[in-house]
Structure 1
Amino acid sequence: MRWVEEMGSYVKSIDKQHLVGIGMEGFYGDSSPNKIKANPGSFKFGTDFVTNNLNKAIDFATIHVYPDAWLPGKSEATRMAFLEEWMALHWMDSKNILKKPLILEEFGKSIRGQNQTFSVRDSDAFLSKVYSIIYNLARKGATMAGGLVWQVMAEGMESYYDGYEIVLSQNPSTNTIITKQSNKMAALNTRTQHHLRSSY
């Protein structure tokens, strides 16, 4: 908490025009004891989503979600249920408690899972699922600001591959999914801005 306060204030003292976020996973802590059970494995991780993001120097909240890595050995249905609850809880807290935008800053499905291999089709299905949740939450108001897939790379970066890599030139189906989501979110933003302007 102290680090967030010190660094957030320091960045703002240098440049007040840039938005500042923490970049943490979104694990719940002591400020939300009833929500710790929503953490992967119901563990405490030493960070606190609500307290850290309430800091006035922080402009937007962030979460990550990696159901395969966080819930090893669990069924796909259990992982997807976790995904939906994780995103919904943080969206509600960002809207009602933090009153700040929320970005799903990292998410992905490794093609090299634990003791199993996933295909591009599996990754695309997961991407589509996450994007659908993001879009549906964004339609309910301006709180859900978008999502950043981990991780888009260019050709020739093989030494950085970690199983989550997406090379758009090699994965046209994934490229199409990302493009469609970008267009949908842009259109939604345009409608939201028009509504806000017409309300004043």
Structure 2
Amino acid sequence: MQFFLTFLSLALAFRTASAAAVSSRALPGFVQTNGTRFSLDGQKYTVVGANAYWISLAGLSNKDLDKSFSDIASMGATSVRVWGHNEMSEQYIYPAGIVYQIWSGNKAKVNYGENGLGYFDRVIASARKHNLRLIVALTSNYNQDYITGGINTYIKQVLGRDEFHEVFFTNSEIKSAYKSYVTAVVERYKEEATILSWELGHHLKCSVSWHPYNPKCSTEAITSWIQEMSSHIKTIDPNHLVAVGDEGFYNREGNSRWIYNGRDGIDFEANIALKSIDYGTFAYRPESYELRNTEEPLQWIEEHGKSQARAGKPVVLADIGLEIRESWLDKVVSSGIAGTLYWQAGSDGISLNMPFWFHGDSISTASTAYVNLRKHAEALKKQ
């Protein structure tokens, strides 16, 4: 009996030590998870703030970078979601444009210059100055008028033609190209505590509005890709959190609604269960998601709160906008959702060095929505 108790004690001690090793894998000063919440050096950290993809692409002066981040910080933000990518064919690069990966035919090279990752260094420095941490998306489901890169760039450059988006997740050459870029970026910033997390991509899925939908789109293929890429990042960088960056679509048998039945290749619950994924993300676009009556939009939030509890990991509403109602923000808090990022921040009176369209696609600091978001940030921090 004594031998058994001694063995059990040693086993429990080993298990505890192993768990402690996992929870303290990052260097001090890096945001981590603690159950369904985030933490920073043993204290609660609330992920609340804004999307601002244009900040890392618009070639801003240091003065305008500081103003942009200052405006975001003024609403009580702790975190900002930005693009850590812009993969462009050399024929579409315009003067003063920021491009992080330059494609020539089916070959790509990382741009470390002042109009590439050298600029991203300045973005990080300005965010740090304003006590903000960055959630960095490593690609996007969308290519915007050859101004920003994304999945289509990889597909067209590697294959030499347009294709269903599913090939991004299954073609070995495309996967290798994406992994090569991710490796370069993650290696460069793996000890930068201003970065909160890496996101594999913005709104990753098989479909895109301007391209035919592939009926063969597979949730299994995308989940396998997520596991491969997130595990790869973890082997390089033990300090930063990793998330998918998806819209939180479910894959539930017997549900006819497309946001619940896996049609777009996303299985939120399978993806957040992966060991190499630290927290979940979802978006809130009631009209786009055909959440039409009063209750359905609120149910979408509640469902992700329940998923958070089941997974035992934080879930962040990573994209809410442009219309924002107080009742929606209240539901985020009551559902226990770990964080909120609105779409998206804007900043008046700055000089954009490229044809960016964020004006009109942003929430004014003088708006009622902005006032409500400030209150919401306070409520989340009190959770």
Same fold (TM over 0.5): yes
Distance 2:296 2:256 in 1: 11
Identity of aligned residues (%): 24
Q: Which of 242, 254, 270 is the matching residue for 1:20?
A: 242
- Relative contact order (C-alpha < 8 Å, sep 6+): which is higher? 2
**1:92-103 alignment, distance < 5 Å:** 92-96=306-310, 98-103=311-316
Q: Which amino acid counterpart does residue 174 of structure 1 have in structure 2?
A: A
Q: Which amino acid aligns with 1:60?
A: Y
The one of 228, 233, 239 aligned to 1:11: 233
SS in 1 for 2:309: helix
2:279 matched to which residue of 1? Answer: 60
Which protein is richer in helix relative to its size? Answer: 1
Aligned residue for 2:329? 131
Are the counterparts in 1 of residues 272 and 279 from structure 2 also a CA contact under 8 Å? Answer: yes
Q: Which of 336, 341, 352 matches 1:148? A: 341
From the CA coordinates, give the structure whose radius of gyration is larger.
Answer: 2
Q: Does 1:105 align with 2:318?
A: yes
Structure 2: give runs of 5+ residues left out of the alignment: 1-222
Asked if 1 retains the 8 angstrom alpha-carbon contact of 2:345 and 2:362, the reply is yes
Shift of 1:69: 2.1
* Amino acid corresponding to residue 176 of structure 1 in structure 2: V
Structure 1 segments of 4+ aligned residues over 6 angstroms from their partners: none
How far apart in 2 are the matches of 1:81 and 1:39?
17
The alignment partner of 2:250 has SS state of: coil
* 1:70 partner SS: coil
CA distance in 2, matches of 1:41, 1:26: 9
Aligned equivalent of 1:49, options 268, 279, 282 = 268
Gaps of 5+ in 1: 110-122, 139-143, 189-200
| Residues 1:137 and 1:23: Cα distance change in structure 2 (over 3 Å) | same
Amino acid at match of 1:161: F
Question: Which amino acid letter does the alignment assign opposite residue 319 of structure 2?
Answer: E
Structure 2 counterparts to residues 108-119 of structure 1, below 5 A: 108-109=321-322
Of 89, 96, 106 in structure 1, the residue corresponding to residue 303 of structure 2 is 89
- 1:95/1:51 Cα in 2 relative to 1: closer, same or farther (>3 Å)? same
Q: CA RMSD in A?
A: 2.3
